Structure 1
């Protein structure tokens, strides 16, 4: 069935492209409207044009909460990953312990932080050149040759291909140009860091141009493994992209192919503390049974000193991660009388292959623990939009998405497992666990169809009403099979064999199931905007969002539901966008209130070494955002933003309790949502001044702050990450736009901070965490001609 749907979609896409090309009667010379490249312009310069409403617009005229990052500004600030991007966007949170388990949230919503679940969709849509990326791991590669990035906050389902309930991160790369364009930069820095990036574009004829971009980034490990004597948690990324642009009469065709690879020894947590006690609801405390200290003592293992920011671990398995992704897309814009017909056809793949030391020691407790994934996706989108400004402007479209995701999980136990896990190292326990392996294989097939539309009624020159709707039908088919294997138990007595069999069953037993969902939904929004003056725009929005249900594709207890209900979102927002008449300054405000019912949360069960997804009731996200830019004098630009966020569980009565609580379930209703800082802020700017001829010297800096958050869904006090501030700085010189040489520092004051903090494996009381990057100082040279 899925293959037939896929073949039909490919045929329709090919037919649409063929029809579009048939309308190109004669080639014409290129007549491209210049696109500015700075997101924080100086006085009098034009802003970036955004396509948040599927037409090129000044962002100050778009009545939604929207932040724009210019590619040139990102280059100046040495921002080359989306993780670094969040330092300048307080409402954006990117949290995870590796690319696969990265979660992107906006205003506290999108995905419950923790391990990624294959059977769930993401609430924040990531798009690169209008192509939807279904797995967040696909977005963790280097950003290269970026034109601009748009961060849209709030539900966006009525215009974007895939339904996105919390917002969208739209990344746009530079198109091929019909004038020769060459850009390159090289960086060397401390801690073995280097980066080389380059792009070149040139015309092949009056109607065809090409562009090639590539980047290689690397740094040495930020953590030292005492067991192997090697540095780990390094970074090694290679990315390449090729493009062809053809403008044939009234048809514009853009073909893109890209490939990325990350090969790293990385993603090992450090030990941050030991939880020794737990308490009953009445406050009676007791020692955590079979804790880490007792286990280490009976195994004869000396626990490393708790000193997380010495950046040392003691692991017998070197953590590794191998990730590859790539794909191709074809975008065709066919200009018709007063309309534009757009077709976007894309295929992508993503492969993830890690190796972990899940026990966190140099003992052979777990000899293997990993989850490999192989994903492919096909998307087809059609849009038919009015062109120009009319009494009624509209866009209608259709979207098809197919995903195939196969995962392979392996957990195998070594010779130290009996003493560590069972408390005794004897022949029976050795036979039961040493060499015992549990394998889990899952498949997911998703087919999603949608029709969407949005219309704006320009009631007057100042007042406009926008309404939109989206109908979605989505099916998910999943399978899960768990198998076990181990050494023969024939040498044991019948009594010991029975005990060994029961021991193995406690760690893994054969299991298999098939599961299916089929859902349909109608969502939409209404937006009323009023222009108080040429420089002040106000708006109010109501949106009904929808996030499809999911499947649990792992080994869970029999009483855990294997299907997850869809989320339903009611979103209210008011905002004000202002700008001075000379464009010297902007100041935008937004206040929002969002109720998310049937919230899908990743639950870690402290009494079973597993996680699963469940609907926990309702959550609420509300707050205020303020952001602005200013260029008061020639050469000086500055930006600032502040977010106050109040995100909480409104109903979560049966949460598994954290490790410090003896009770089986806890009521978290009214408690703060994990991963949602109450206060976030960003501030930065740059001042440049001519020193000789075309040579200008400059100095710049960026500051970001986030208040404390809980990482675990059950709000364990041991998962609380304190707030922290980061400062980046740069100083350098430029010769026009041709040459730039800078000295820079990231995390200038070498701030110690965590990105993840949580109880470790086996519920032993050991607390582990992932550290933020230390200070790195470097030199970058950049040319453009």
Structure 2
């Protein structure tokens, strides 16, 4: 067939997929993405770069992906731009064995799971299982962590424990968000998006050298759109976006071997509260289920929703000798979230939760980076001083409103974390084929928790006002927690790997690493209820111990067929002990009133085994016309995650018969599953680049798949998500010099409705998960009168145009 005919057929098929939603392979993954092009590069130049040209800093030094003995996926800013990525959760669709979602009831709090390890609950006291780093600064809390993608150089996703390489323990993995370095030449970049739901984004980035060795730059972003649905009670847009963000940078290079960077960023999010969709009718009011899953009916509107957050960072690098560099990273960050969470999603005051989260942190990291002949590595010290403070009321309906009007369970929790660590990781190349890496980390974690829980009537806590009876400070009638706890945890966590490179195009490695996540205190716990004495011992719901993991991995990375095919494959096994499992349940407080309790436990043991594959094929070069590019990419993740032991306090056995002698510790592992962890994740992409209209046109389409998963350890009918697929497609045209670009982007083109998170306060059989029904055949609520089974959904179909100008 003639090359022009092949090109026309290929372009027609990809363009049809992009415009008309025809299925295709999915997004190009980062293990094969071309290096970020310079200002002088055209898109064609970038497309010719191979996987071996990609530079990442997964091991705190510059390396090509092929050489890194770690499962890591990297997305360049160029790739994210082509694919219309809007925020950090977009990269989760095409990275194997990961889940990145916006947390339930919020707009900017991140829920991240990697290989089954993560943390769903954002309240103070819970350490994240996945570390998020903004320019190597660890973000201690998940609030304000759904980072919008602008002015980004690359995003790296590392899977598995990374404690010997990073300032903070990262027991499940790490996400690195890396911003652009400033150019030596003056630059001005303007990008705008306009699309469905009145999407209107504008991002302006400028930088310039002021003198020799002195550069300044800044970015400002205005990101907005209407909601995907409505709050039918308040009239507000639901799932809308109303964000301002800014980032500023000063870079100083006083000498060839010295570099300093001062950067600051801040975000103002005035989006409306995100209301959930009820999956059952109101048990008391009979309110029917709404037709549109993005509509809600919650009336809670205090405190006024607003999220602000940001920080300052100082990076420095000094060359001591030609083979040794000293780095310092000093940072301060803070955020504040005011959010009204209407659990029942109905107008009645029935489990309404006004909340305020405040977090601040200071961190200091020192590194020595060596590269001397066959020896390379990093050694460092890390210090973190952080405070997380939550204040929230749980406004409750009571069956005795005349006696207990305005019943509120109020919680004020504060957790201080002070931690320091020493870490090192070095690689020695014995021969060009064989290398050994050894690393270790010593961690000292200290936590101090203060929790005050008070039951009020006639109103709420002094910090949170509201409307009606809650527009005042209530009368305290009981103190259910007045807890002051401290703990110290220490651990040494080693890492080792062996690399075999039979030639420059292959890297085979086997590694072992030990991970650690410190213990803590649940600020929602009631000290009047814990600990629980059972015949087997004491079971303490208020405090929990450290979590530990032993992780083994065997991987193979290669670039073959004259660099036309690159792939990375890995199999892994992770054995967890003292798994931390947070839960929130309806309970009865010390004064006999209904309340909301946390029950966080060290469930026991879990095993995570799986395999991952990422590949990219630069196909059909002999059939394509000169200058054309066609990439076919795929990623597949398989994860067999299961509890081996899940101890919890039970009063009855599997047949519902009470245990003689009272509650006992029972191993519920056969009846529990790992949350937010599908067995299969997969994606594929078709990416075609061709000369067109005097410039270059890129057409790509992405299909990603996730098998069924559970929101919590116990299966919840209706709330757990079945397997589903998402289809994205993009067309992007650039002028020959890259100065102008125009794009058409489609997200979730089949308009798939899928659940990302939710709440459940309905009684369940603890063994089967089936809902407990009353005499009328209705579910029995464990908190409130209406019954809570509420879901939050991923974004529906979005189509938008992008416009870019680069000077």
Task: Return the TM-score normalized by structure 2.
Answer: 0.82
Write out aligned runs for 1:539-558 (5 A): 539-556=509-526, 557-558=529-530
Report which stretch shifted further, 752-761 or 148-157.
752-761
User: 2:291 maps to what in 1?
Assistant: 307
The Cα offsets for residues 227-254 of structure 1, whole Å up to 9 and x where unpaired, read as 2344322111221100011111121001
Write out aligned runs for 1:499-538 (5 A): 509-538=479-508
1:392 and 2:362 correspond: no
Instruction: Give the whole-Å Cα distance in 1 for the aligned partners of 2:289 and 2:137.
Output: 47
CA offset at residue 718 of structure 1? 4.1
The Cα offsets for residues 47-96 of structure 1, whole Å up to 9 and x where unpaired, read as 32111112111111111111010011111111121211211213221242
Q: 2:215 is matched with which residue: 199, 209, 214?
A: 209
User: 1:261 maps to what in 2?
Assistant: 268
Instruction: Give the whole-Å Cα distance in 2 for the aligned partners of 1:617 and 1:248.
Output: 54
Q: Is the Cα contact below 8 Å between 1:603 and 1:714 reproduced in 2? A: no
The Cα offsets for residues 375-416 of structure 1, whole Å up to 9 and x where unpaired, read as 1100000011113x5222232110000001221112335xxx
User: 2:723 maps to what in 1?
Assistant: 723
Cα distance, 1:331–1:44 mapped onto 2, change above 3 Å? closer
Cα distance, 1:378–1:656 mapped onto 2, change above 3 Å? farther
User: 2:668 maps to what in 1?
Assistant: 668
Q: Is the Cα contact below 8 Å between 1:177 and 1:211 reproduced in 2? A: no
Instruction: Give the whole-Å Cα distance in 2 for the aligned partners of 1:770 and 1:93.
Output: 15
Q: Is the Cα contact below 8 Å between 2:276 and 2:343 reproduced in 1? A: no
Write out aligned runs for 1:502-651 (5 A): 509-556=479-526, 557-559=529-531, 560-580=540-560, 582-605=562-585, 607=587, 609-632=596-619, 633=621, 634-651=628-645
Q: Is the Cα contact below 8 Å between 2:273 and 2:339 reproduced in 1? A: no
Q: Is the Cα contact below 8 Å between 1:304 and 1:314 reproduced in 2? A: no
Gaps of 5+ in 1: 1-33, 275-291, 297-301, 423-428, 489-503
Instruction: Give the whole-Å Cα distance in 2 for the aligned partners of 1:562 and 1:44.
Output: 54
Report which stretch shifted further, 225-234 or 615-624.
225-234
User: 1:445 maps to what in 2?
Assistant: 416
CA offset at residue 680 of structure 1? 0.4
Q: How many residues align?
A: 694
The Cα offsets for residues 196-219 of structure 1, whole Å up to 9 and x where unpaired, read as 112111101121111111211111
Q: Is the Cα contact below 8 Å between 1:432 and 1:486 reproduced in 2? A: no
User: 1:299 maps to what in 2?
Assistant: none
* SS in structure 2 of the partner of residue 532 of structure 1: coil
1:770 and 2:792 correspond: yes
Q: 1:244 is matched with which residue: 225, 232, 250?
A: 250
Instruction: Give the whole-Å Cα distance in 1 for the aligned partners of 2:554 and 2:137.
Output: 29
Instruction: Give the whole-Å Cα distance in 1 for the aligned partners of 2:563 and 2:316.
Output: 34
The Cα offsets for residues 607-662 of structure 1, whole Å up to 9 and x where unpaired, read as 5633332110011111000001222233223321000111111111327799x997
Instruction: Give the whole-Å Cα distance in 2 for the aligned partners of 1:128 and 1:617.
Output: 33
Instruction: Give the whole-Å Cα distance in 1 for the aligned partners of 2:495 and 2:53.
Output: 27
Cα distance, 1:487–1:568 mapped onto 2, change above 3 Å? closer
Cα distance, 1:123–1:700 mapped onto 2, change above 3 Å? same
Gaps of 5+ in 2: 1-34, 460-474, 532-539, 589-595, 622-627, 658-662, 763-780
Cα distance, 1:713–1:44 mapped onto 2, change above 3 Å? closer
Q: 2:133 is matched with which residue: 127, 139, 142?
A: 127
Instruction: Give the whole-Å Cα distance in 2 for the aligned partners of 1:365 and 1:672.
Output: 30
Write out aligned runs for 1:143-154 (5 A): 143-154=149-160
* SS in structure 2 of the partner of residue 85 of structure 1: helix
CA offset at residue 484 of structure 1? 3.6
Q: Is the Cα contact below 8 Å between 2:160 and 2:172 reproduced in 1? A: yes
Q: Is the Cα contact below 8 Å between 1:657 and 1:714 reproduced in 2? A: no
Cα distance, 1:685–1:755 mapped onto 2, change above 3 Å? same
Q: Is the Cα contact below 8 Å between 2:280 and 2:289 reproduced in 1? A: no
CA-based RMSD of the aligned residues comes to 2.6
Report which stretch shifted further, 315-324 or 508-517.
315-324
Q: Is the Cα contact below 8 Å between 1:623 and 1:645 reproduced in 2? A: yes
Cα distance, 1:133–1:39 mapped onto 2, change above 3 Å? farther
Q: Is the Cα contact below 8 Å between 1:333 and 1:343 reproduced in 2? A: yes
* SS in structure 1 of the partner of residue 118 of structure 2: coil
The Cα offsets for residues 346-375 of structure 1, whole Å up to 9 and x where unpaired, read as 000011110122332122445x51221111
CA offset at residue 101 of structure 1? 5.6
* SS in structure 1 of the partner of residue 749 of structure 2: coil
Instruction: Give the whole-Å Cα distance in 2 for the aligned partners of 1:525 and 1:328.
Output: 32
Q: Is the Cα contact below 8 Å between 1:718 and 1:757 reproduced in 2? A: no
* SS in structure 2 of the partner of residue 395 of structure 1: strand
* SS in structure 2 of the partner of residue 138 of structure 1: coil
Q: Is the Cα contact below 8 Å between 1:44 and 1:582 reproduced in 2? A: no
1:410 and 2:398 correspond: no
Q: Is the Cα contact below 8 Å between 1:315 and 1:360 reproduced in 2? A: yes
CA offset at residue 767 of structure 1? 2.2
Q: 1:359 is matched with which residue: 344, 350, 353?
A: 344
Task: Return the TM-score normalized by structure 1.
Answer: 0.84
1:165 and 2:164 correspond: no
Report which stretch shifted further, 209-218 or 467-476.
209-218
Instruction: Give the whole-Å Cα distance in 1 for the aligned partners of 2:419 and 2:44.
Output: 35
Write out aligned runs for 1:70-149 (5 A): 70-95=76-101, 96-97=103-104, 98=106, 102-111=110-119, 113=120, 115-149=121-155
Instruction: Give the whole-Å Cα distance in 2 for the aligned partners of 1:618 and 1:740.
Output: 52
Write out aligned runs for 1:188-207 (5 A): 188-207=194-213
Report which stretch shifted further, 458-467 or 678-687.
678-687
User: 1:756 maps to what in 2?
Assistant: 757
1:350 and 2:355 correspond: no
Instruction: Give the whole-Å Cα distance in 2 for the aligned partners of 1:472 and 1:265.
Output: 40
Cα distance, 1:600–1:522 mapped onto 2, change above 3 Å? same
Instruction: Give the whole-Å Cα distance in 1 for the aligned partners of 2:688 and 2:714.
Output: 46
Q: Is the Cα contact below 8 Å between 2:97 and 2:680 reproduced in 1? A: no
Cα distance, 1:525–1:164 mapped onto 2, change above 3 Å? same
Write out aligned runs for 1:257-336 (5 A): 257-273=264-280, 292-293=282-283, 295-296=284-285, 302-305=286-289, 307=291, 309=293, 311-318=294-301, 321-336=305-320
CA offset at residue 765 of structure 1? 4.9
Instruction: Give the whole-Å Cα distance in 2 for the aligned partners of 1:205 and 1:384.
Output: 29
* SS in structure 2 of the partner of residue 312 of structure 1: coil
Instruction: Give the whole-Å Cα distance in 1 for the aligned partners of 2:147 and 2:655.
Output: 39
Which structure is richer in relative contact order (CA contacts within 8 A, separation 6 or more)? 2
Q: Is the Cα contact below 8 Å between 2:579 and 2:603 reproduced in 1? A: yes
Instruction: Give the whole-Å Cα distance in 1 for the aligned partners of 2:298 and 2:170.
Output: 40
Q: Is the Cα contact below 8 Å between 2:213 and 2:254 reproduced in 1? A: yes
Report which stretch shifted further, 40-49 or 556-565.
40-49
Instruction: Give the whole-Å Cα distance in 1 for the aligned partners of 2:295 and 2:123.
Output: 30
Cα distance, 1:561–1:610 mapped onto 2, change above 3 Å? closer
* SS in structure 2 of the partner of residue 136 of structure 1: coil
Q: Is the Cα contact below 8 Å between 2:275 and 2:295 reproduced in 1? A: no
CA offset at residue 728 of structure 1? 0.9
* SS in structure 1 of the partner of residue 412 of structure 2: strand
Cα distance, 1:653–1:476 mapped onto 2, change above 3 Å? closer
